[in-house]
Structure formats: structure tokens, C-alpha cells
Chain A
Amino acid sequence: MTRPVLLSTLLLAGIAALGGGSDAWAQSHGGGRALAPGVKVEVAPAPGSGSAPAAGKVDETALRYYARIGDGERLEAEIARLRALDPTWEPPKDLFAPQPTTPGIDETPFWNLVSAGKVAEARAAIAEQRRKSPSWQPSDKLLQELDLAESAGRIRSASDTKRWQEVVDAAAANPEAVACNRLDNAWRLAEAYAELKQTDRAFDTYKTIVTSCPKAKERRDTIFKASRHLSPDRLRELTALGATANPATGEDYSTVRTAEAELETGRLLERLGNSKAGALSAADLSRVQGIVRDKQDADGAIALGWYFQKQKNFAEAQSWFSQANGWAPSDRAAEGLVLAYNGLGEKAQARAAAAPWKGKSNRVDQALKAVDPPRGPAGGGRGGPQGPSELDRALARQDYAACIAIIRASIAKSGPTAALLQQRGWCLLELKRPSEAEAAFAEAQVLAAREPAKGGASAGGASAGAAVPRTPSAGGLPQSATLAQENAYGQAIARLATGDVAGLTRDLPRANMTAAQKAEIRASLMATEANRALEDKRYNDVLRLLDARKQLEPEPRNLGILRGWALYNLMRYDEAYDQFKAIDDRLSTEESREGVTITWKTIYHDW
């Protein structure tokens, strides 16, 4: 099997985008060959080879090195490259016999350094060798690999620091650094074009990859990468090309089409979350329901639940939330279930659905307030009937703007109560107005202290002044928080949202909260700190914080990804791979796939 060797046109695709397409470029330079309708890839000669070398003169250094270390994939690519240079050339029969590249000097240590990414060390070792043996010259291939590795390093560094124009410049300076065997760099180049708003060039770069890199997995990964930057139409075009252009023997390109289907499902689920009622067509809705059922996707079921809940189709919503809770019990599913039952007027069922999470999950406790609202003028009327009030209905449909408006009207009419102000705090938090939310909780706190008799029942039904037994959060019985504790907890959540990590860490030990609430806030603080540590490149600190956090709460998916990158940056590649793989096996997302791919490529030097 031969494979298209170089992707110098990844860059030229950009030029072509300006100058009328890659066809024109390839034709004007000769040597371009059609790969697919509208796509041509230039097979670039090796650096320094102005014309094809005479038979028997090709540099086999790299070939022998790859044979020696048993890197079959690169060996194959090198054979193809040498054949492109000299069609009469045949691989030597003694390829696997040990042979020093240059009599007396074995280049293996330098190649090992290059393979390990230690380019500066390799240069230094070569210089040292030349000092010892002035007549010795490193092979052209070795020098070429060094140049390539340096260019690749420049591309990675510029891309990591978002210096997009430098990515393009570095790739232009050494087009071989963005070849199929350095696919990550090609992706980075495409991303750079996209970030520079040169979408056509980004598309052309992706197109060159999916039409010339032979591996189905690489094409599939490219589709996922491209999905961040290209419109659905262009992505469809890219997928069609990737699934058909230049097929290689033994590769199954149906996975490329599957990638598009997965992305489409993701898009539909996202629309479910964001859309107004009725925004999804019946066909799309039916399709996404089928996929969610087939995959028993609890997150998808929750998204469907909220979609129907917003349409006030409570029966359908209840069915999907129940389904999600059956597949993977979670407080998110329980929250929806409580509100859906409440919408149906089945309060007993709503309370039963909340029972496993009551006192343990803030979101379920909040949802329960729609079922058993706190006492107050808008919460059903002090001592009045307990039917769903206007505020309850607003909360049930997650209409937080209405919540603010109703509470404002209530306060204007009957004056503030601690429970009303607290509810206002929660609604402001949902509206991403944490500073005002914190003020509302503080105000509620002051009012609760003044009116202990009217403190009202909290989610757990305890009165403001009631003594709460202190039990350890881990493994302990769920605690009911007093109104004062809920206010303190609300203030802490608001402070977290404003980024007041240092102040909150300082005040947390003295805060009047239940042990479970404190543990939740402490876990959130540690997660915030871990994120900050990763930004500061303090990778050991990331692991230290995440380990400590794990003792308080199970690690969520996003922090698992964070842990993977900390391990990766500490060069604990095997552990990083295991971490990403474990997450990816549970639910494959763009982030988990990126982690798996990059660590795999790093471990096997498959850039």
C-alpha cells in the first residue's frame, strides 16, 4: 500500500483559497495529482533535493532507523517517500540487519533524542560528536528530522499560546511539519485559520487532511475537530469527501459517516436545551428520541425532559425524567422529575421522587420549594391554601425573570419576608446576577434574625431557630438546613460565582452551614483552585487539590478531564491515557477524544 506522502498543500490550500482553488495551484506546478473532485495534493520533494536523486543514492538513514526501532507505520511512510523520490528504488533486503549509518558513528542516540522530542539535546549531542570527530557529518535525513521537529515545536507552542498568525507562518516555513504523520500540527494549522476568521482556508486544510491521510480514524478525528469551526453544511461536505476520497485498502471509512451522525445528534440535543418551545421539527424530535433510547443516554433523556417541561407537556417530561433516572440515577434527573410531577399536580409523587436526594442536593431542595413553597405572601399565602401559586408556577417552568417580577410585586404589596428574599437570591443566581443574589441572601439573613417566629420552614421543614444535629456529611444522615443556614449557603454560592475564592476559603470554617453544605462549597472551592492551578501550570497542585476534593465528592467528568491534562503535563502519559480512556469509554465527547488521541500520539510518537 502506498500513501500520499506530504501535505504541503495544507498551506497551499490557503493560497489556493485566495487564488482560485487548489486545482489551479497544483496544475501550475506540475506533479499535482487528483485525489478527489476538486482536491489535489502536491507530493513535495524532500528538502534539499532539487531534482530526483540517482538510483541507489537515496538517503536510507531514517528508513534503517525506523526498521531498527520497529516503527512499522513510519517505515512504511518512509518507503513511500523514497519511492516517490526515485520510482526505481527498492527497499534494501538487509533492512532489518544492524548497520551503522556512517562507518564508526552510530546515529541511534541522536535519533532516540529526536524521537523523544529532545531536539535541543539532539543538536547538542551532534555538536559534541562533531567536536570529537570533526570529519563526521550527520546524515541529511537526521538534520531534516531535526528541522521538522523544531518547526513542529514552534507550531505547537504558538498554537498553545493562541498566537494564530505565528502558527500559519511556522507551518508556511516548513510545510512538511503539517504532514499526515504529524496530524496534530495540521489540525492546529486549520484551527489557526479558523481563529483568524479565514474559514475557507480552514476548510481547505481539513479537506486536504480527510482526502489524503489514509487512516479512517484520522479522518474521523478530523471531522470532530472541524466541527468546532465549520458550519453543518461544510461539515457534511467534508464528511462526504472523507468517506470516499482516496480509499486505502483495509480501512473502514463508514466510521467517518458515523462521526457526522454523532455530531448531528449532539447538535439536536443542544438545540433541545436552547430552543424555544416547538423549535425542533417533528422529524428531528423523533430522531433524537430514537437515538437517546437506543443509547440509553441519561443526559439526552434529561435534555428531552426539559424540552417537554418548557412546553408544559408535563406527562412527556415526567416520562423522560423517569427514564433518565432509571438509566443513571442523578439529582439532575430527580430535579426534573419533581417539577414534572408538580406540573401534573401529583405532589405526593413529586415528594417521593425527591426523597433520595432531599437534604443532599441543593437543586432537588430548590425544586421541592415548588411543591411545598416557603411560607410568604407569594408562596401560597401565610396560613392560606397550599395550591400552586404564581411563583410556584414560575419556578416549575424555570422562568426566573418571572420569579423576580412576582417577588418584586409581592414585596411592594406586602413587604419583604426572609423566605421571599431568599427565593429572590436563588432566582438572581439563576439569572447570573451573583452580586445582587449575595445581597438578597444577606438581607434575608438580617430579616430572619429579626423575625424568628416568621422564619418559615425551609426545604427540610426546620424552623429558623431550630437546633440542627451536626452529623458528618460523608455517610451521615441528610441534614435539614435552617433558613439561616440556607441563607449562608446561598451567599457562599453567590461568592463562588463572583470568583471570591480567597475570601470564601477564609470565611468558610466560621460560616453557619450544615456539614453537607460546607462540604459542597469546599469541594467547589477546590475545583476552582484546581482549574486555576492548571492555568498556572502547577500540575502537582492540580492533582493534590483533586485528590482532596475526591474525598468529599465523586469526581465529575470535567474534573476528570482536568486530572488527565495534569497527568499529561507531568509526563505521566500512561496514567493520563488511562484517565482519558476511562472517561471516554463511559461517554465519548470532543474533550475526552482529544485527551485520548493526544496522549496516545505522545506515547507512541505518532505525530
Chain B
Amino acid sequence: MPETPPKTAKVRALLLAALAAVTLLTSGCAGWVRDNLTQAPTPWRRIQPTALPVTLPDSRDFPIVAARMRDTGTVYKSYVVALGNPTVLPGENRLTVDVQTLPDSLFGALVQPPRVFPVPLYTMETLTETTKREFPDMRIKVADGARRNRYGDYDYVTAQDGENSCVLAWQLITDHKRTLPERIEAIRLDYRVCGVGSNIRALLAPFEAMTLTLPETVLEVQDLGGL
């Protein structure tokens, strides 16, 4: 009498394979959502100032009014700190921090969202456009030389009218040799503040005194000379 068990096992295996295929196919159809959605920025959500990855010195003129954050994919986290504005000028005083981390999976490396900030951060054209928008009807001057805060050199623009002064400062931290931890690809900082009077250094003081408080330590540059 011929043996039959192998035939049953084959049929069973075929059925299982077919079931798996159908499951895979139908789950793909039913659950398919455009893949770019995971790469789009989430809406801004409010956070407590204590949840910010940055600590600013206490300031009577520029207190923290609100803090918000959003994610773009798994790679970018963006934070906006709205600061008090002691002037009557339009526009919010703010510090923006974008943290770019390295993807933690092969898939993440393959599918990355577009960079949330341009590099270079500004060109002469975009800077002109931005300063016109931020500081309408004010005298604008691009600083000749960079200044240095705890994390390296940064550039800035000043704007002035009869009573007030404003600064726009920006910085891209990419130094992996000393400053940045391994997991962080880059940190972008953008700081816009207006105050009464003409003391530019006082306006830049919070930007120069701030400390980054990310989960991994961001080291400060050693040499703070030249301030």
C-alpha cells in the first residue's frame, strides 16, 4: 500500500503559504497609506519650558512666554521658544532650535524627510528677505565678523530705528570632533530678539549664555576668548 502522509503535509504547506500570501497582500491594501505622511512635520504642540532642550538665563526683558515643538519624521525635532518683547515693534522674539539626529534603522536611513532647514542657513538673498520681513522699516546691518557663544561661532544681523534695536543670530553646530554626541548630526539655532535702546550686546547676551540640555551631552567649545 502506498504511503500518503507526505501528500497531506504538502497540501498543508501550500495552504499555509497561500494564506500567508493573501494576508500579506490584503493587509498591504487595507492598511496602505501614502508613505510620505510619516515624513511630514507633525502639528506644533505646546510643551513646558522645562521640556525644552535649551536653558536660557533668567531675563526680565526676554522671559519665556511659550514653548512649542514638532517632529519631522524620526530624524528632526524642532523647538520654538517665544520670548517676551519689551518693544512695540511687530513680530515675536524667539529662539528656534532644530535637532537633526541620525536615523536609527536602515529603513530610516533610506527614507528620510527633506531637511527642515537650508544649508547654508542663509544666503544674502534669503537674509535680505528675512530681515525685511522681521524688521520692516528698520536700518539693517550684517555684522562684519562672527561672534562666539558656548558652542562655537555664530553670525548675526542688527536692525535699528530711533528707539529700538533688534538682532537676528544664527548658528549651525556640526562639530562632531568635540561638540556633538554621536547620535546628533546637527543642531541649528535661530535667534530673533528686539529690545528697547541700542545695546546690541544685551540683546545677544541670552544667546551667548544659553546652554543646550539634550539627553546626550553637548560639549561647549573650550576657548571662549574673544567675546
Pick the residue among B37, B44, B46 that contacts A536 (CB under 8 A). Answer: B37
Tell me the minimal C-beta distance from A243 to chain B in angstroms.
Answer: 32
A438, B90: Cβ atoms under 8 Å?
Answer: no
A402 to B89, CA, bound (A): 10
Q: Which of B13-21, B80-88, B167-175 contacts A (4 or more CB under 8 A)?
A: B80-88
A405 to B85, CA, bound (A): 12
Pick the residue among B44, B84, B88, B125 that contacts A500 (CB under 8 A). Answer: B44
What is the total number of residues of chain B having a CB less than 8 Å from a CB of chain A? 20
- B110-146 vs A, CB cutoff 8 Å, 1 = contact: the mask equals 0000000000000001000000000000000000000
Most buried by B among A401, A408, A498: A498
B202 at the A interface (CB under 8 A): no
A431 to B85, CA, bound (A): 11
B108 at the A interface (CB under 8 A): no
A165 at the B interface (CB under 8 A): no
Tell me the minimal C-beta distance from B140 to chain A in angstroms.
Answer: 18
A536 to B41, CA, bound (A): 9
A336 at the B interface (CB under 8 A): no
Tell me the minimal C-beta distance from A505 to chain B in angstroms.
Answer: 9
For residues 426 through 477 of chain A, which have their beta carbon under 8 Å from a beta carbon of chain B? 431-436, 438-439
B109 at the A interface (CB under 8 A): no
B34, A538: Cβ atoms under 8 Å?
Answer: yes
Write out the residue numbers on chain B whose beta carbons fall within 8 Å of the beta carbon of A532: 43
Write out the residue numbers on chain A whose beta carbons fall within 8 Å of the beta carbon of B36: 536-537
B53 at the A interface (CB under 8 A): no
For residues 20 through 39 of chain B, which have their beta carbon under 8 Å from a beta carbon of chain A? 34, 36-37
- Interface residues of A: mostly helix, strand, loop or mixed? helix
A-B contact count (CB 8 A): 61
A75 to B99, CA, bound (A): 56
Write out the residue numbers on chain A whose beta carbons fall within 8 Å of the beta carbon of B34: 536-538
A402, B44: Cβ atoms under 8 Å?
Answer: no
B43, A438: Cβ atoms under 8 Å?
Answer: no
A500, B85: Cβ atoms under 8 Å?
Answer: no
A500, B89: Cβ atoms under 8 Å?
Answer: no
If A439-B65, A537-B34 touch, whether A434 touches B92 (CB-CB below 8 Å) is yes
Tell me the minimal C-beta distance from B90 to chain A in angstroms.
Answer: 4
A538 to B88, CA, bound (A): 41
A404 at the B interface (CB under 8 A): yes
B43, A499: Cβ atoms under 8 Å?
Answer: yes
B60 at the A interface (CB under 8 A): no
Write out the residue numbers on chain A whose beta carbons fall within 8 Å of the beta carbon of B37: 536, 538
B residues lining the A interface (CB < 8 Å): 34, 36-37, 40, 43-46, 65-66, 68, 82, 84-85, 88-92, 125
A residues lining the B interface (CB < 8 Å): 197, 400-402, 404-405, 408, 431-436, 438-439, 498-503, 532, 535-538
Given contact pairs A405-B88, A503-B46, A535-B40, a sample of 5 additional A-B residue pairs in the complex whose CB atoms are under 8 Å apart: A433-B91, A436-B92, A498-B44, A500-B46, A502-B45
